[in-house]
C-alpha cells in the first residue's frame, strides 16, 4: 500500500514533471501546453482510478476537465503566440467558472461558504491572468518565480485539503506538487549549469501550468468538506501575487546565482505559507 502511494503520488508525477521540463525547449508551444494538463490528468487517474463515463461524481469529472483543458490550451497556443490581457481575463473566468459549475453545481447551490470561496478564487484567477498577460516586458527574475509559485500553490493546497478532511484532493495536490518539483529539479540543474533562462516560463504553457495548480485549489474548495475558506483564499493569492513577489526578488540580486531560485521561491511562497498556517490554526481550534 505504501509503495503504491509513493509511486502514484511522488515517483510518477516527479518523472512526468522532469519530462515536461526536458520537453519545454524541444516541443512546439501547443504540445507543451497540452502536455501539462494531460500529465495532471494522469496523476488524478493514478490516484483515483479510471473515472466512470459518463462521469457522475465531481471526482469522476475532474480528470476530464484537466484533459479537456489541455486541448483548449493547445488550440490557443496554436492560434496565438501572445494573449491580450482582456482575453486572458475572459479566458480565466471561463476556465475556472465552467469546470467549477460542472463539477459542483449542487455543492455551490447548497453551500454559500463554498460558493463564496470559489467566487473569490475565480476573481483572483481573473486578476492574475490579466496582470500576467499585461506584463509584456517581464524581467528574467520575474519569470523565474512562476514555477516556484505553482509548486507552492499545489503543496499548500494538499496540506489545506488534509485539514479539510478530503485525502483524495490532498493526494492529488501532493502529486501536482511532485510534478512541479520534478519540473523545478531539471530546470534548477540547468540553471546552475549556466542557463539563465532555465526557470523562465512564459506563453500559453505558463497559463496551462498555472491553471492546473489553480484547478487543484478550486477542486479542494469544492470537495473538501471542512476546508478553511480563509486558508484557501490565502493560498489562491500565491499565483496572482507572483508579479509583486518578483519586484521584491529583483532587489535581491546580491545573492549567488545558485541561491536566487531558492530565495525567489521562498518569497513567492509567502501567501501559500500563510494559507497553511491559517488552515492549521483553524483545524487545531
Q: Closest Cα partner for 197 from 187, 207, 208, 210?
A: 187
What pLDDT is attached to residue 131?
A: 87
Least confident of 76-80, 209-213, 252-256: 252-256
pTM beyond 0.75: the answer is yes
Question: Across residues 52-71, what is the average pLDDT?
Answer: 89
For CA atoms 220, 275, 158, 203, the dihedral sign is positive
What pLDDT is attached to residue 136?
A: 56
Transcribe 239-284 into DSSP letters.
TTTHHHHHHHHTT-TTS-TTTHHHHHHHHHTHHHHHHHHHHHHHHH
Is 152 within 8 Å of 268 (Cβ atoms)?
Answer: yes
Least confident of 92-96, 198-202, 212-216: 198-202
Per-residue pLDDT tens over the stretch 124-177: 999 999 988 887 544 444 447 889 999 999 999 999 999 988 888 999 999 999
- Cell numbers at 242, concatenated: 507572483
Is 245 within 8 Å of 270 (Cβ atoms)?
Answer: yes
Is 64 within 8 Å of 51 (Cβ atoms)?
Answer: yes
Cα atoms in the 13 Å half-sphere on the side-chain side of 265: 19
- Domain ranges in the chain? 2-82+137-284
Per-residue pLDDT tens over the stretch 178-208: 999 999 999 999 888 888 777 888 788 889 9
In the chain, which residue ranges form alpha helices assigned H by DSSP? 2-6, 12-24, 29-48, 58-79, 85-110, 112-134, 140-143, 145-163, 167-192, 203-223, 229-236, 242-249, 260-268, 270-284
**Coil, helix or strand at residue 134:** helix
φ and ψ at residue 165, rounded to 5 degrees = 85, 25
Q: What angle do CA 185, 188, 191 make, to 5 degrees?
A: 155
Tell me what percent of the residues of the chain surpass a pLDDT of 90: 55
Transcribe 187-221 into DSSP letters.
HHHHHHTT-TTTT---HHHHHHHHHHHHHHHHHHH
For CA atoms 102, 107, 109, 113, the dihedral sign is negative
Amino acid at each position: 500500500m505504501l509503495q503504491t502511494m509513493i509511486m502514484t503520488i511522488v515517483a510518477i508525477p516527479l518523472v512526468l514533471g522532469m519530462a515536461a521540463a526536458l520537453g519545454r525547449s524541444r516541443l512546439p508551444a501547443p504540445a507543451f501546453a497540452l502536455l501539462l494538463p494531460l500529465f495532471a490528468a494522469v496523476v488524478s487517474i493514478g490516484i483515483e482510478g479510471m473515472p466512470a463515463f459518463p462521469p457522475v461524481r465531481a471526482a469522476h469529472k475532474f480528470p476530464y476537465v484537466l484533459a479537456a483543458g489541455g486541448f483548449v490550451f493547445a488550440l490557443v497556443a496554436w492560434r496565438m503566440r501572445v494573449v491580450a490581457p482582456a482575453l486572458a481575463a475572459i479566458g480565466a473566468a471561463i476556465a475556472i467558472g465552467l469546470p467549477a459549475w460542472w463539477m459542483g453545481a449542487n455543492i455551490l447551490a447548497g453551500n454559500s461558504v463554498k460558493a463564496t470561496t470559489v467566487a473569490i478564487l475565480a476573481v483572483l484567477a481573473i486578476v492574475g491572468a490579466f496582470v500576467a498577460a499585461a506584463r509584456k516586458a517581464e524581467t528574467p527574475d520575474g519569470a523565474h518565480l512562476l514555477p516556484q509559485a505553482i509548486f507552492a500553490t499545489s503543496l499548500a493546497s494538499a496540506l489545506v485539503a488534509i485539514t479539510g478532511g478530503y485525502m483524495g484532493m490532498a493526494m492529488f495536490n501532493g502529486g501536482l506538487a511532485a510534478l512541479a518539483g520534478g519540473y523545478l529539479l531539471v530546470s534548477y540543474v540547468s540553471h546552475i549549469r549556466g542557463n539563465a533562462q532555465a526557470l523562465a516560463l512564459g506563453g500559453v504553457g505558463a497559463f496551462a501550468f498555472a491553471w492546473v495548480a489553480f484547478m487543484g485549489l478550486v477542486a479542494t474548495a469544492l470537495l473538501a468538506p471542512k476546508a478553511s475558506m480563509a486558508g484557501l483564499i490565502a493560498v489562491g493569492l500565491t499565483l496572482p501575487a507572483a508579479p509583486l513577489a518578483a519586484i521584491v526578488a529583483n532587489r535581491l540580486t546580491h545573492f549567488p546565482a545558485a541561491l536566487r531560485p531558492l530565495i525567489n521561491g521562498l518569497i513567492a511562497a509567502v501567501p501559500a505559507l500563510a494559507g497553511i498556517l491559517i488552515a492549521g490554526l483553524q483545524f487545531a481550534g
